[in-house]
Structures are given as C-alpha cells and as structure tokens.
Structure 1
Amino acid sequence: MAKWFVLVLLSLLMLPVQANWLNDINRKVRALGEPEAEIQVAKPLSALELADYPPQYQYQRVMVPSHDTPLFVLQAGLEHQDTVVLVHGLGDLASKDWLTVIPDLAAQYHVVAIDLPGFGLSQGAVFTYSPKEYAKVIDWVITQYRHPGQVSLVGHSMGAAISLYYANQYPGRIGQLVLVDAAGILDRTAYIKHLSTRDNDKADLPQGVRRVIARVDNFADKMLEKTGTGFDPTRLFSNDSSLRNMTIGEQTNMNAALALMEQNFSVLNYQQMPTTQIIWGAQDTVAPLRTAHALQHVLPLSQLHVISDAGHVPMKSHPQRFNSLLLASLQGMTSARPARMTNVSQRIGRCFQDDHTHFSGQYQHIILNDCKLVRFDNLDTQQLTLTDSIVSMSKSRIGTAGHTMVITRSVMTATDTDIVGRINSNRSRFDFAGVSFYGESPVFISQASTRLVLSLTRIITPTQSTRLGGSYVLAEQSLESMLSY
C-alpha cells in the first residue's frame, strides 16, 4: 500500500514555467551602468513576526519587481566584504532553518538569508514557484544586497536545487556554490523507487531470503518504471495555468514541490558550473545520498562531504559538525577528479547464484549468471556479461573502447559510473544516475524490450555530447535513435 500511496502522491509533480523577458531586459540595462531603482519596502515587519529571530540582525520586507511580490530579507555580518546567500527548502520555517548557522557565518561573512516568495514572511503573489522563477528572485537579491567581495550561494533541499539551477542560468554571477541535501535532482521514477525499496545490504537475513526479497523489490520497481512512461494526469495542470492557480496556487509547498519535480536537472550544463561543495546527511531518506554521488560525477570542480549519522537537515541535527564543514567549504578549493589508472588486469570474476556478491578493483572480465545480490564498488572491468542477474554499482568503470557488453534479462543500477564501448541489451532494465557513456555511436542498443531510467546521464562520442534524463522504453533500436525523434 505504501508503494502506491507514494506513487500517486509523487505522480502529481509537473508544472510549466513562464519566461520573464521584461526582467531580463531590465537586468541588461542595469549592466550598462544605468542607476538601479531604490528598493521598495513592503508591509513593515511586526514584533510578533520577528519574535523567533535574534534582535541583532537587520530585517526587511521588500518588493521584488520581477514578480511584484514581497520578500523577507535577513542580513548579518554587514561589516564583511564577501557575501553568503542562504536559500531554504520546503517547509513552514523557511529562513529559520538557518538560525543555527548564521552566527558562525556572520563572524566572517556578510550573510543574506531570505524567505522565498510564498514561504515564511514572504507571503504574497501567487505564481509558479519553480526553480526558473525563483532563480530570478535570487538574481535580484544578489544584485541588490551583495557586498564588493565574492558571492557564495548556499542552498538546502529545494533551495539547493534552485541554487544549482541559478548557477546554470546565470554563469559567472557567483564564485562558489554549496549544495546541502539537494532534493528533486533525480528522475522522478528513480526517486519513487528509492522510497519504496528495502536496503537488502543491511537486512540481517539469510542469503536465500534476501534473494527472494530482491526478486520482490525487482518486480515492484518494474511496475513503478512502467508508470514513468505512461499517462501523466498532472499535464492538465501544466496546460492550464488558471486551473493550477485555482487548485494548488496558494498551497505553497505543493506548488513548489510540483514545479521542482517538473524541472529536468539532467539537461543543465554542468561544465560551466562554479566550484561546488556538496554536504550531505548519509541517512537522508528525503534526498538519497545517491543524488550526491551523481552530482559529484557531473560537476567537474566539486567535493563531497558526508555526515555519517545525519538525515535531511544536518544543520539542525548536527549544527557544530555542519557549521565546521560549511566554513571549511567556503574557504577551500576543489580540484578535478584524478584520471583513472589504465586497466591491464587479466583477472576473471565469476558469480553463479550469488556465490560471489561483491566486486572491486580491476578485472579483465566479470561474468554473472543468476546472481541477484551483486554489488560493484570502485570496480574497473574491461568486459561485463550479465545473464538473469541484478547488479548495483557505484564509482566504477565498465567496458573498453571498441567492445560490446551483453546484458540479458538483467537489471543494472549504476551511480557515478563510466561506461566505455557499447551495451547490447536484451529484455533488461537500467537505472542510471550520474553515468557517462564514452564510445562510438550508438553506445546503447536494445535487442528487445529494454527500459531505462536516466538521471544526470551523458553520452559522449567523438562528434557530440548529449545530456539526458527521463524514462525510456526501447524495442529493437538504439538509445540515440529514440532521442532523435
């Protein structure tokens, strides 16, 4: 029952966004040196509204001209040159989520924390609360409130997703990006599967029982994947803005959540992103740690910091540890990930009915037959053959240039992985997050009935680079041929 409840709830996650061309023109005019308009103050803040905020900070409620909506702005550390802008996630607390963070930040930085329109003390105009529209608000905030030094953007959960989108849409505006437990990045189907699947590695059960559970979860995942390519009733909201505004427009959390899940983060240009620090709670059940590894895969200058026993809101559950990591992240630099060593191994790895379930290191060839519990971690294999098997892999590299890997009646889940050469699939299923294909096109060929769930996935050939995400069903065709339709 829980699986279908989650499915019905999260299947409502789609909304359109509208471009604001007038705001873009105004921004270009300001860039030419025209004097900026004075900030228009909105309804004054009352003592009751500020009761939970420390008195030593500066507070304003101003009007954002791009959407004619009120915006609550908190400032601290006004004496500092470098600015840190904090963007909150879903929930009623809004900027209050940062109150355990701001004192440490304000000792070294000018801090700007906001309540996004529709949240907290920024109740006002109703529009599509999407990353695209919120990015316009953040750009106005940075333009109006930044100090002369570097600007860093820190986002949590939905706010992290918005910050990521902002960095893509407004390149060069910020010097550094910090993402905290970013939500809404994975493809919707991948996320639903995460919510509904047991972690078999931690189940204290005999191997035979775990194999049965793996088969049951596999069947449930198959059903969920089918919904990812079926009819989506939320298109009714996407095609009728008046219907959306009448039904969910003023339900801020629903409005923002739907618009967040509508955004395809897989197609952003991650190569132009600024230096990025990623902070994550390992026990996050809202935004799985898999998301962090997928983001690290596509962000060329990024570093991941994991708080092992923290959940989705690490700044509140582990404030000292989080603040220490955040300050170090803002002061530190990241470098590109080192290149993998050349694989010259002659080792052959085999598994039959789970007699060998964990592989790491270098192999020439791995062959799996009727294995349901296999994990690859930091694996580098030149060849891979799967038959009637279920495998999960992370931080790995499989295949070699000019060769084809055969996957038959199997399931492959891969995160932060490079695939070299070509995959030939026959009645198999794939869930890729932070995966890059390298080779001559076509890199993926389906012989019959193949399903793919793709998040932050790239196809890199000598002639082109393609970024893609979403759910796909292939018959007898290549993935590239389907994308060309």
Structure 2
Amino acid sequence: MELQIKQQGGFQYVDEGSGEVLLLLHGLFGALSNWHGVIDEFGHGYRVIIPMLPLYDMPLTRAGISGLVDFVQDFVKAIGLTAPATVLGNSLGGHLALVYTLRNPAKVKRLVLTGSSGLFEDSMGGSFPRRGDYAYVQERVAYTFYDPKVATKELVDEVFGITNSNSKCLRIITIARSAQRHNLAKDLGRIEVPTLLIWGLNDTITPPVVAHEFNRLLPRAQLHFLDHCGHAPMMERPQAFNRLLKAFLAQEDLQPTASA
C-alpha cells in the first residue's frame, strides 16, 4: 500500500480511514512507512493520522523535544482535531507523545509507547555519524532490530543519505541530545490516561529495564514484551504488535498489568 501524503497549512501527513483517531509519531531516524502495518490493520475502523516530523529542516533554535511537541500541537490544531485521540509513539516519537500528553491531558484518550525514549536510550544520534562510511551506517541500522534482515538496503540507503548531509546531521544531534537531557522520570506520575507499553525483549537501544521503569512510573500502564524483537516492534513483529494494540483499544476498564 502506497501512502498518500496530504498537505495542509504547511504540514505533510498521512490521514487514512475514519472514526476514532490514532495519532502516530515516528522516531528520530524513522519515517511514515514505519507504521505501514498499523495503517493496514486499523485504517478501516479508525482514522490513522501520521504527521511528518520536521526532524531535518526545522530551525536549529527549535530543534529539540519542546520544539517538536510545539509542532505536534500546531499540527493537531491545523487539521482541526478536537476529540481526544489515542497517541502512539516509537522511540523519539514516544518521548514526544509523553510530553504532548503532559501538556494536553484533555486531548489524549490513551497512550501507546514502544521503544520510547524519555528515561534512557543508547542511539546513534548522540554523536556525529561517520560521514561516508556506509558499512558503519548499515551496522547501526541493523543494531536497531533483532533480525538484521529487517534493515533493508532501502532503509540503510535512506539513513546513509541523512548522515551525509551536514545540516541534517546537525539537527539530528541537537534533537538527540535534547532528548537525552529531557528525562521524564519525575513527571510520569502525572499521566493518568491508560498506557500500553509494547517492548522488544531484545531492544538494545531502550532495553527491557527501561520498559519496566516506565511500567513502574506510569500509574495506568500495562507492559507486554515481544521476543525476538528489537527497537521497533511495529515493524519487526507487526502481527503481534497489532494484536496487542487491538486488545488494548477494545478495553473499557484498563488496569495495570505486565506480561511477556
């Protein structure tokens, strides 16, 4: 399925289906295509919306967690979303989802986090990647997944292109360092919405201990691990991810749980 990119008010985004809104936020080296499996599964019964985050061209003075959350807020307003949405975020997108919820509790019905930053992460974005070193980029992209075959040549080529642009690299580093400084441990207790944590048991970037800490600090969280899965469960284990998400969306009285 080829994603149709819409444009409105200076924003580019995917908007598929109708019904209750699922607002999806991608990660630092992520893309709209990371959510293909979710769109395919839920685009018929829900309205799935994915803004294209301005990671590589936003003003350096705004490049960071606060500036990106401002962008999400402006986007939600620009397309006229009024009802509370279920907000899903992977990696940096999870971090943005958490801060967006803290700022706009009335606009969030549920949270879904997978491989989220906000407490601890070990990523390529914190230092300047080796320019022109394709093998290094390939190794780091493969490190994201349990199965290195998920790191397709198309995906590696995309990241390689980003790392060969000085301006894009500078913004990635600035955003990554902002995320590392922006620890949410003291704030998570204020998030009262039901939260689903779907984590790769083999995540090397936000390892399982991070998921357990999110589960401990978020008042209404439920945690599920997927084995043979790295930092992007919605890409690497899409069917299992969608089963957990479907069950979560169907729940009325959500209680904290943990399972593997």
* Same fold at TM > 0.5: yes
How far is 1:161 from its partner?
1.0
**Native 8 Å contact 2:9 2:78 kept in 1:** no
Deviations 1:262-287 (A, max 9, x none): 11212215234311111100000011
Contact 2:84–2:106, Cα closer than 8 Å, also in 1: no
Answer whether contact 1:283 1:311 (CA < 8 A) is retained: yes
From the CA coordinates, give the structure whose radius of gyration is larger: 1
List gaps (5 residues or longer) in structure 1: 1-52, 64-70, 193-246, 338-485
The answer on 1:59 being equivalent to 2:2 is no
Normalised by the size of structure 2, how large is the TM-score?
0.74
TM-aligned CA distance change 1:118 to 1:281, over 3 Å = same
Q: Distance in 2 between matches of 1:156 and 1:87?
A: 7
Partner of 1:170: 104
Q: Which residue identity does 1:59 align to in structure 2?
A: K
Cα distance in 2, alignment partners of residues 184 and 271 from structure 1: 14
Shift of 1:258: 0.9
> Structure 1 CA distance, aligned partners of 2:190 and 2:230?
29
Gaps of 5+ in 2: 124-165
Indicate the RMSD between aligned Cα atoms, in angstroms: 2.6
Q: 2:24 is matched with which residue?
A: 86
* 1:99 is aligned to 2:75: no
Aligned to 1:299: 218
Q: 1:173 to 1:96 in 2, by over 3 A?
A: same
Matched residue, 2:68: 134
Match runs of 1:76-475 below 5 Å:
76-77=16-17, 80-91=18-29, 93-119=30-56, 123-145=57-79, 149-186=83-120, 251-332=170-251, 333-336=253-256
Counterpart residue number, 1:75: 15
| Structure with greater contact order relative to length (CA < 8 Å, sep ≥ 6) | 2
Distance of aligned partners of 1:149 and 1:166 in 2 relative to their CA distance in 1, 3 Å threshold: closer
2 CA distance for matches of 1:272 and 1:310?
27
TM-score when normalising by structure 1:
0.41
- Separation of aligned partners in 2, 1:250 and 1:62: 26
Which whole-Å CA distance do the structure 1 matches of 2:77 and 2:239 have between them?
31
| Larger helix percent | 2
Task: Tell me if structure 1 keeps the 8 A contact 2:62–2:68.
Answer: no
In 1, Cα distance between equivalents of 2:62 and 2:81: 30
How far did 1:74 drift?
A: 1.1
Question: How far apart are 1:252 and its partner, in Å?
Answer: 2.8
Distance 2:35 2:43 in 1: 12
1:61 CA drift (Å):
5.7
Q: From the superposition, tell whether residues 124 and 158 of structure 1 become closer, same or farther in structure 2 (CA, over 3 Å).
A: closer
How many residue pairs match? The answer is: 215
